[in-house]
Structure formats: structure tokens, C-alpha cells
Structure 1
Amino acid sequence: MSEGNGSARGGRGGGSAGEAAAAASRLTARDLTLAYEDRTVVDGLDLDIPHGAVTVVVGPNACGKSTLLRALGRLLKPRRGAVLLDGTDLARLPTRMIARSVGLLPQSPVAPEAITVADLVSRGRQPHQHWWQQWSEADERAVAEAMDRTDVTQLADRAVDELSGGQRQRVWIAMALAQETDLLLLDEPTTYLDIAHQVEVLDLIRQLNHDRGRTVVAVLHDLNQAARYADHLVAMKQGRVVAQGRPTAVVTAHLVRDVFGLESVVVPDPVTGSPLVVPGRPWQAPGTAAAAPGSE
């Protein structure tokens, strides 16, 4: 098992754009401490986000995953340490410059009342606007492509607050894609989505990484999805990085027990070969005989 701040890079078998480019890192955290008033959430964390790869952050609730992502997107000022973009502290960079390089989709974003889907997705282009050029063919193309990729084109004229939770989530992802940043931070992007749309979104993330070379950092709750889609997996517990590296090196029964408090068996995914976490036997009433696999 690769525990501590392991140096392994990449993830899924067969090679990827992430594995080829993961030696460098544009986005890093150094001695990062994050807090809300008197409550420290992340403490002394060091992290290098592999360039050109899909990094997925996992961990139990309240371990600091989302707080870390907010700091990486400069939505939260560090109590100590710094987040660096191309070696420069985010706090020193102009907001517009950051917005052209780093896109962030936070948890449970709130849309302005009565705004349409097309208008909300178009707001992803604001960092690219200038007083002398408010809209361009490039903006139009980026918005149309983002809506098509997330399957919300048919919803263009609908009000966002009239949509289902899953539809709204896809619209927010479309806005983040329309921003066309090299670094994309996604906090639980599969929230509210059924399993088919979860897979569609995660496949889209992999496709963006492969076709466009985008560096993606996503927070996911589903450890099996994280292991399947990540090039680089970061496991957090109590505000610290417990393990990081290739999913095959990180996801073990020992780590699942240590980080999540769950007894499990880890086996190869029959489709991808990535680690597949199978929880221990479910609770049964005393005296109930366990059914054999495949029996009725």
C-alpha cells in the first residue's frame, strides 16, 4: 500500500494522457492549513496535482475534501501556507487571470432567480469578456459545445429553478465546461444524478482529459467510481493526506478500514481491472443462514 505522501503517479491500466503528463504540476499546496473560525479542517497539507491527469480526492464526511477544493479555487483563504498556480501564490494573482486558468464547480451552487439554462451556461464565458468585445463566435461555440456535451441543449430556454436536481447539476457542469479552463475543479459532480448520468459525467471528464489535456480534480464519495476513473487518487482523513498515487496502489482493504472504518474485500474490477471495494457481509438476524452466492 502506498501510504503517506506517496510519489506514485497515474492510475488506470493501459496508459493515458494523465500518465504521460503527470510528472509536472501547475497547481500545488504547501503547508496548507484551512479553518472556519476556530475550527481547523485541513492542517499542514502538502499536495501536487499531476498536470494533465484526472485526480480524485476521497475520504469520509468532514475530512476536508471540499474545503481543500475551495482553497485550490481561491474561494477560501488559507490560515497558513499557500496554494500555488505555476509557482505563484493564488493570493497574488488577479481574479480574472485565475478564472481563465481554474474553473470550479462547488457543491450546491445557487442560480439567480428565473435565469434560463442558456444564460447560466453563458456566464461561464465572463472571464473571457472585454469591454471592447462582449461576445464572440468563440463564446458562442464554447457554450453550444458545453451544452451539447452535457445533454442540456434541449433545456436552453427553461428556467434553471424549474429543473430537476439532476438536470440542474448537468447545467452547472456545462457552465464550468464553457469556461474552457486548463484546470477544472469539481466538487461531487455526480450529486443528484442517477447511475446512468453519473457514468456519463465521469466518462465526459475522462474524455475532456484525453481530448483536451485538461487537468481535473474531482471530489467523489463513491470509492469504486474514484478508483475506476482516477489517474491519481488522494485519500484524506481528518484534514490530512493519508495516501496518494495510482488507485491500484492506494485502494486496499487496510486503507478502506483505516480511512472509512469499513471492513471490505478489494478485488479487481472485472471490466477495468481497477480496485473494486466489496463491503463485508450485511447484517443478518441471529440464526439466519447465509445464502450461497447465486442462490435464491
Structure 2
Amino acid sequence: MREHGAGGEVRTYEASGPGAVEPGASGPGGVTPGASRLVARALTLAYEDRTVVDGLDLAVPDGRVSVIVGPNACGKSTTLRALGRLLRPKGGSVLLDGAELAKIPTRRIARAIGLLPQSPSAPEAITVADLVARGRQPHQRWWQQWSDDDERAVTDAMARTDVTALADRPVDELSGGQRQRVWIAMALAQETELLLLDEPTTFLDIAHQVEVLDLVRRLNHERARTVVIVLHDLNQAARYADHLIAMKAGRIVAEGPPGEVVTAELVREVFGLAAVVIPDPVTGSPLVVPGMPYRPESGF
């Protein structure tokens, strides 16, 4: 695999066993960095005859927040769908705990991996509380349809996403931002150890974007959740990621700590954007400042 070094160079490191070993201290919840339950090997993904991702290798660091960034149509969301078994690989494989995802029973996957896709759809007239409760289905059996644990998980998820007051409202009557928070609540109620989120800040104003990403960080640190997020906002990605993955044209261009990955050279290579990268005055993470905007000449 490749990661962008502090001086802008690309360096390689070898995968060991099911995942790549990444140096560093112990992560949240005592998770050892470098361990990877979720791994993609030589992954090729396509829609009919159009290849979107080609020969991708990725080891998701356990106990960390990984963020995938890149230009439109580079394969970010497609990769996330494959990691959640929503898309069957054309070549290569996705492994969970060393076993091919395609060969693992659906219920077991649903208890291990929670996935919030980019454009989820809800049944007509379903209420907020009922939709969030569907996140508990993988934990239920025919002889035990609802438990105190289910009730606690749903209540906690709705409180954390600030949708408790909407519990009896039909989902299709909510604003886009409210619906997005309800979907996130359903994913949280699933209480999986791995959480995949595709553009979770879509439709949210800046205050709720920060709340959602702060929530993701709290879940990671307080409950040792492994999280993979697709984001368009490079500055938000740099601020919230432990591990940043930059993609272009279906391949990983660079990956590693944001402070090493996000450079002016990387932004130019991946996004075709001239920019200056400075320290964020609040967090110290990389902050991308685009070049001079267009200004009409005087007299026009």
C-alpha cells in the first residue's frame, strides 16, 4: 500500500496477514493499531462493463476513524458499498476477520458491519421511532422480538442524534437534514463494531455537520467503534480522521495520518486544485486554502 509522507513523497509498506501493520501507539479501547478486521485485496469493482475501482488494496485500521476523500466519480462510494457487501466484486475480495464477505451469512455481517448508504429510502409513512428500531433487527430472534437492550439502544441512538422529539413523525414529512439524522440514528442503533458512513453530512447545515462528526469521534473513542466515512469536504476529513485515504480514478493515491497525507502537492494531484495547506488554528490539522478566486478586472 502507499501513503504520502511528510515531505510529499509516496512511500510503500507491506501488508502482514489479513491487514497492513501501521506503526503507532495503542488506539481507543485498547485496540492495537495495524490490526484490520476489514480488508480489501486486489479489489476490482464495476457497473456492467464500466470499471470503477481497479486492483485496490485496503486494510481498515481497527479502532480508528478512516476517511476516504477524492474527486467525484473516483470510486469512494463504490468502495464503501463493497466493504459493506452491497456490491459484489468483479475481481479480488473483501475479507472480514479473514473470511470472504461473500461467504459470510447476512445476519452475521449485519451484526458486525453497519452501513449508511448515500441515498437510503424509507418505507412509506414509517415513523422515526419505527425506522430507528429497524436497526435492531440483526440482534433479534423469532423467540425474542424486543428486549431491554433493544429499547436502550434505540433510545440512546435517537438522543445522540437529536431526533427524540421527532419519534412519532413520519419520516417522509421531515426535512432533508432531519431525515439524515434519523438514518444515522438507525445505523447507531445497530451497535456494530464497524460503521460505514457514505456522506453522512449531506443535507445538514454546518452546525449539524459538526455535531454528527463529533458524534462519530465520541463513538470511536468511548466505544472503540471502527469507522469508515466518505466525505467531500477535505478540511473536515483532515480534522476528524485518524487515517486519511485519498483516491483518484479508482485507485488509492495516498493514505496515512492527515498531517502527512494532506499537502499542496497531494491536493493538486488528486483534485487538480492549486492550494496552500496551513495548520488549522483550532486543531492543528491540515487546513486547505484554495488559490485566489476569480475577480473581474477593473472597468468591467
Query: Partner of 2:216 in structure 1?
Result: 205
Query: Partner of 1:89 in structure 2?
Result: 100
Q: What are the equivalent positions in structure 2 for 1:92-171 lying under 5 Å apart?
A: 92-171=103-182
Q: CA offsets, 1:17-61, max 9 Å, x none?
A: 289632200000000000000000000000000000000000000
Q: SS of 1:242's equivalent?
A: strand
Q: What are the equivalent positions in structure 2 for 1:1-296 lying under 5 Å apart?
A: 1-2=4-5, 3=10, 9=22, 17=28, 21-287=32-298
Query: Partner of 1:293 in structure 2?
Result: none
- Contact 1:18-1:51 within 8 A present in 2 as well: no
Tell me the distance in 2 between the aligned counterparts of 1:122 and 1:161. 16
What is the RMSD computed on CA atoms of the aligned residues? 1.8
Tell me the distance in 2 between the aligned counterparts of 1:202 and 1:131. 35
Tell me the distance in 2 between the aligned counterparts of 1:102 and 1:164. 27
Per-residue deviation at 1:254? Answer: 0.3
Per-residue deviation at 1:286? Answer: 2.3
- Contact 1:34-1:43 within 8 A present in 2 as well: yes
Gaps of 5+ in 1: 289-296
Q: CA offsets, 1:122-162, max 9 Å, x none?
A: 00000001011010000000000000000000000000000
Q: CA offsets, 1:90-128, max 9 Å, x none?
A: 011000000000000000100000000000000000000
Q: SS of 1:56's equivalent?
A: strand
What is the identity, as a one-letter code, of the residue corresponding to 1:198? Q
Which aligned segments of 4 or more residues in structure 1 are displaced greater than 6 angstroms? none
What is the identity, as a one-letter code, of the residue corresponding to 1:60? P
- Contact 1:10-1:245 within 8 A present in 2 as well: no
TM-score, structure 1 as length reference: 0.93
Q: CA offsets, 1:213-265, max 9 Å, x none?
A: 00000000000000000000000000000000000000000000000010000
Tell me the distance in 2 between the aligned counterparts of 1:116 and 1:287. 56
What is the identity, as a one-letter code, of the residue corresponding to 1:143? V
Per-residue deviation at 1:9? Answer: 4.9
Tell me the distance in 2 between the aligned counterparts of 1:233 and 1:248. 9
Q: SS of 1:21's equivalent?
A: coil
Q: SS of 1:138's equivalent?
A: helix
Task: Say which structure, 1 or 2, has more relative contact order (CA 8 Å, 6+ apart).
Answer: 1
Tell me the distance in 2 between the aligned counterparts of 1:248 and 1:20. 22
Alignment length (residue pairs): 286
Tell me the distance in 1 between the aligned counterparts of 2:28 and 2:251. 28
- Contact 2:21-2:33 within 8 A present in 1 as well: no
Distance 1:171 1:10, change over 3 A: farther
